[in-house]
Amino acid sequence: MTDMPDFHPLEERLGHTFRDRSLLLQALTHRSYLNEHTDFPYAHNERLEFLGDAVLELIVTEHLYKNYANPEGDLTNWRAALVNARTLAGISHELHFEDDLMLSKGEARDKDSKARMYILANGIEAIIGAIYLDGGTPAAAKFIHAHIISHLKQILELELYVDAKSKFQETAQELLGVTPTYKVLEEKGPDHQKEFTVGVFLDKDLVAVGRGTSKQEAQVAAAEAGLDAKSWRTRAPAEK
Give the chain's mean pLDDT.
91
CATH architecture of 8-157: Orthogonal Bundle (1.10)
Q: Which fold has domain 164-229?
A: Double Stranded RNA Binding Domain (3.30.160)
Q: Is the distance from CB of 63 to CB of 145 less than 8 angstroms?
A: yes
For the segment 232-236, the average pLDDT, to the nearest whole number, is 63
What does the pLDDT look like over 153-212, one tens digit per residue? 999 988 888 888 988 999 999 999 999 999 999 999 888 778 999 999 999 999 999 998
189 in the Ramachandran plot: left (φ > 0), alpha (ψ -120 to 50) or beta? left
The verdict on whether 125 is a catalytic residue reads: yes
The verdict on whether 53 is a catalytic residue reads: yes
Exactly one of 100, 107, 125, 224 is catalytic; which is it?
125
Answer whether residue 238 shows pLDDT above 80: no
In 10 A of CB 170, how many CB atoms? 13
Domain with CATH 1.10.1520.10 in the chain: 8-157
What does each C-alpha distance from 153 to 90, 149, 165, 179 come to in angstroms?
A: 16, 8, 22, 30
Share of the chain above pLDDT 90, in %: 72
Exactly one of 53, 100, 107, 224 is catalytic; which is it?
53
Q: Is the distance from CB of 50 to CB of 129 less than 8 angstroms?
A: yes
Domain with CATH 3.30.160.20 in the chain: 164-229
What confidence score (pLDDT) does residue 2 get? Answer: 45
